[in-house]
Amino acid sequence: MGSPVLPDLGTEILIPVCAIIGIGFSLFQWLLVAKVKLTPGSAASNNSGGAGKNGHGDYLIEEEEGLNDHNIVLKCAEIQNAISEGATSFLFTEYQYVGIFMVAFAILIFVFLGSVEGFSTKSQPCTYDPLKLCKPALATAGFSTIAFMLGAITSVVSGFLGMKIATYANARTTLEARKGVGKAFITAFRSGAVMGFLLAANGLLVLYIAINLFKLYYGDDWEGLFEAITGYGLGGSSMALFGRVGGGIYTKAADVGADLVGKVERNIPEDDPRNPAVIADNVGDNVGDIAGMGSDLFGSYAESSCAALVVASISSFGINHELTPMLYPLIVSSVGIIVCLLTTLFATDFFEIKAVNEIEPALKNQLIISTVLMTIGVAVVSWIALPSSFTIFNFGTQKVVKNWQLFLCVAVGLWAGLIIGFVTEYYTSNAYSPVQDVADSCRTGAATNVIFGLALGYKSVIIPIFAIAVSIFVSFSFAAMYGVAVAALGMLSTIATGLAIDAYGPISDNAGGIAEMAGMSHRIRERTDALDAAGNTTAAIGKGFAIGSAALVSLALFGAFVSRAAISTVDVLTPKVFIGLIVGAMLPYWFSAMTMKSVGSAALKMVEEVRRQFNTIPGLMEGTAKPDYATCVKISTDASIKEMIPPGALVMLTPLIVGIFFGVETLSGVLAGSLVSGVQIAISASNTGGAWDNAKKYIEAGVSEHARSLGPKGSDPHKAAVIGDTIGDPLKDTSGPSLNILIKLMAVESLVFAPFFATHGGLLFKIF
């Protein structure tokens, strides 16, 4: 078997040090962003200077020098303040409701898991090794509850900090755009990096500290210890669900309302300050795309770590108490932080962006560089942190695995993520033919646009599913369910870079909105639009990563659940399992119906309010009167808080109801069904929405001869494109991204409650 090269002490130093470096790096990036001042006095001194990094001088665009400059800085600061206040008040309201749920669910975990052995405090024979004594179920109940609370709090803090950083950086990006597109890009990207590194490092550090604290009680009972740790993943994902659904409903209600009345009916540009829904729309970008996405990816990261640790604890690592190989998933994540740190420097320091057409390649290079460097990093880690051969638990037997096989499992997940990212980009970027075809279909109206867009979404599922299938087959063949869990971790190992790219999009979008509202010149708006268009595509890539990793994570959790619930085989031909399978496959549709309807009804209220203001406030269209932004913000807030509860309840209650009444076999069917159908719907919904959005932007930008033949803004093809974009909004920003949380959350919840379901579940089948 051999022992790993890296001693246990090395592991205990490496993991926290990497996490602290990640936090330090994010604070350093934040300080660099903070150098851009939002006070007019320092703007003059800040804007002087010779040839800057942009290849040409840091000059301001002529019209805005002198007196006018002063007012613009003040106006940007004022708009930023309004967006920040709206986002903060929404998140605080959301967290109050979520907090109540969190406490209630924590009590539920404690009661259900404690009752497995009748709240006994005596040590029990271990599940997988009855000759040994393990800690009582009551201890697992208590520690699972603590881990759940830790995961939930970390998830909420991650989302909130991300939102704060984004609202801090948006106006600064706008002001930097006056000096050139390169400066604006660096500001937006650095702000995204702050969020990416904070989240990755915090997630890792909290998990590492929790494991060490729990170990003080559990001692040598690693099986019980890592079973309790699974609560961390459940906490992270349950908060992410509410953040994603609530934020998604908020942002899309505002967006649809603003677009339909502003662009289609009143023919005013996007982000026009006369539009009453414009502040709510910009707030939505922060609470949905930043806070929601942050919590979502944190949840994936926490769950894949937990799934890997649970399987490892009943393999040779856990049985022989080998600390370094046991913490292999955390070591991979630690190296990921260092790799992402180097990758970020390529975008901000090593290469300079001088022109608009360099933005998208720079972001794509981030993905490629991080994947290549991470492959090298994982190879080194697998060599030093793993014994040359070891055994992995495989449904009742121990499978012999070599360290190079585990390296391949991580690498296959890592590269599958990159493939999914690039396929997503091909189908959603307006540089390629699929989106251009969708734009072209707008010639004959909105109906053909919708048909082409739906077809594109369905077609875009093919290659990602093959990529996921290949990575599952390879990783499972090499290292059973542990292989699948580390493949998911591989996909998420570059999470800091992925999140930086993802957060960059909404920050650029906000920057463009602020430029429009502050009345800046057309040239500045062109620069922010270029940043935003690149951000749109990268946001789609980010969603592809999130969905791909969710598929692998939920399969790994499913494997851990089946092991924990002591199911030897999941036989599809038995009626118990098949009814679960078919109901599970229906759940993503039910969930999507709820979220789409929620966006629709909230948007309806928003449209009515925006129309009312245009019709009743004299001088609003002329720009002499100010709209009532606050009412629109309130409509979005109230609707999203109210509407996020039913979809959340559907996801959280399904595993409990199925497990208690129908038992673990039916529940395993439900999990498999929801995984299989959820992944397909999530990918097609995200890509359809992204394609419609970029088809509209393609017509608006009018860069090519073809695009100009469809334009300009306000033409019939453009109006058809706006309708497509509006239909796609809830698909790409509410239903699609929330579905990956549905499939993960049901699996991790089933795993946490597995001992209870195995002991007391299946009431209906026991009665009859």
Confidence of residue 135 (pLDDT cuts 50, 70, 90): confident
Q: Using the predicted structure, report yes or no on whether residue 55 has a pLDDT greater than 50.
A: no
Q: Alpha-carbon distance 749 to 715, whole Å? A: 50
Q: Alpha-carbon distance 296 to 315, whole Å? A: 29
**The predicted structure's pLDDT at residue 532:** 84
Q: Using the predicted structure, report yes or no on whether residue 246 has a pLDDT greater than 50.
A: yes
The alpha carbon dihedral of 303, 305, 310, 315 has a sign of: positive
Q: Looking at the DSSP assignment, which residues form a beta bridge with residue 125?
A: 133
**The predicted structure's pLDDT at residue 40:** 66
Mean pLDDT across the stretch 323-342?
Answer: 94
Confidence of residue 269 (pLDDT cuts 50, 70, 90): confident
Q: Alpha-carbon distance 479 to 336, whole Å? A: 21
Calculate the average pLDDT of the chain.
88
pLDDT digits (tens, 9 = 90+) for 488-499: 999 999 989 988
Q: Token pair of 325, please?
A: 């190989």
Report yes or no: 244 and 737 within 8 Å, Cβ to Cβ.
yes
Strands 389-394 and 397-402: antiparallel
502 HSE (CA, 13 A, CB side): 33
pLDDT digits (tens, 9 = 90+) for 705-756: 898 998 788 889 999 999 999 899 889 888 988 998 899 999 999 999 998 9
SS3 35: coil
Q: Using the predicted structure, report yes or no on whether residue 147 has a pLDDT greater than 90.
A: yes
Confidence of residue 41 (pLDDT cuts 50, 70, 90): low
Report yes or no: 399 and 480 within 8 Å, Cβ to Cβ.
yes
Q: Using the predicted structure, report yes or no on whether residue 63 has a pLDDT greater than 60.
A: no
Report yes or no: 295 and 239 within 8 Å, Cβ to Cβ.
yes
User: What separation in angstroms does the CA of 402 have from each of 407, 408, 467, 493, 559?
Assistant: 9, 10, 24, 21, 21
**The predicted structure's pLDDT at residue 48:** 36
Q: Alpha-carbon distance 474 to 462, whole Å? A: 19
Mean pLDDT across the stretch 258-275?
Answer: 84
- Spatial CB neighbours of 228, under 8 Å, sequence gap ≥ 6: 139, 140, 143, 144, 146, 147, 214, 218
Got the DSSP string for 538-556?
HHHHHHHHHHHHHHHHHHH
Mean pLDDT across the stretch 680-691?
Answer: 93
pLDDT digits (tens, 9 = 90+) for 507-565: 998 998 899 888 888 888 888 888 887 887 777 777 888 888 889 989 989 988 988 88
Helices (H) and strands (E) in the chain, counts: 26, 4
Confidence of residue 337 (pLDDT cuts 50, 70, 90): very high
Looking at the chain, the whole-number percentage of residues with pLDDT higher than 90 is 50
Mean pLDDT across the stretch 251-256?
Answer: 88
Confidence of residue 68 (pLDDT cuts 50, 70, 90): low
Looking at the chain, the whole-number percentage of residues with pLDDT higher than 70 is 96
Q: Using the predicted structure, report yes or no on whether residue 312 has a pLDDT greater than 80.
A: yes
pLDDT digits (tens, 9 = 90+) for 425-442: 899 988 899 999 999 999
Mean pLDDT across the stretch 58-63?
Answer: 43
SS3 129: coil
Longest Cα–Cα distance in the chain: 84
Q: Using the predicted structure, report yes or no on whether residue 332 has a pLDDT greater than 90.
A: yes
For residue 132, report the phi and psi dihedrals to the nearest 5 degrees.
-95, 160
**The predicted structure's pLDDT at residue 410:** 94
- Side chain identity at residue 29, one-letter code: Q
Question: Is the pTM here over 0.85, yes or no?
Answer: yes
Confidence of residue 1 (pLDDT cuts 50, 70, 90): low
Mean pLDDT across the stretch 22-27?
Answer: 94
Q: Cβ of 163: how many Cβ atoms within 10 Å?
A: 30
Q: Alpha-carbon distance 242 to 214, whole Å? A: 28
Q: Using the predicted structure, report yes or no on whether residue 66 has a pLDDT greater than 80.
A: no
Alpha helices in 627-663 (DSSP H): 629-643, 645-662
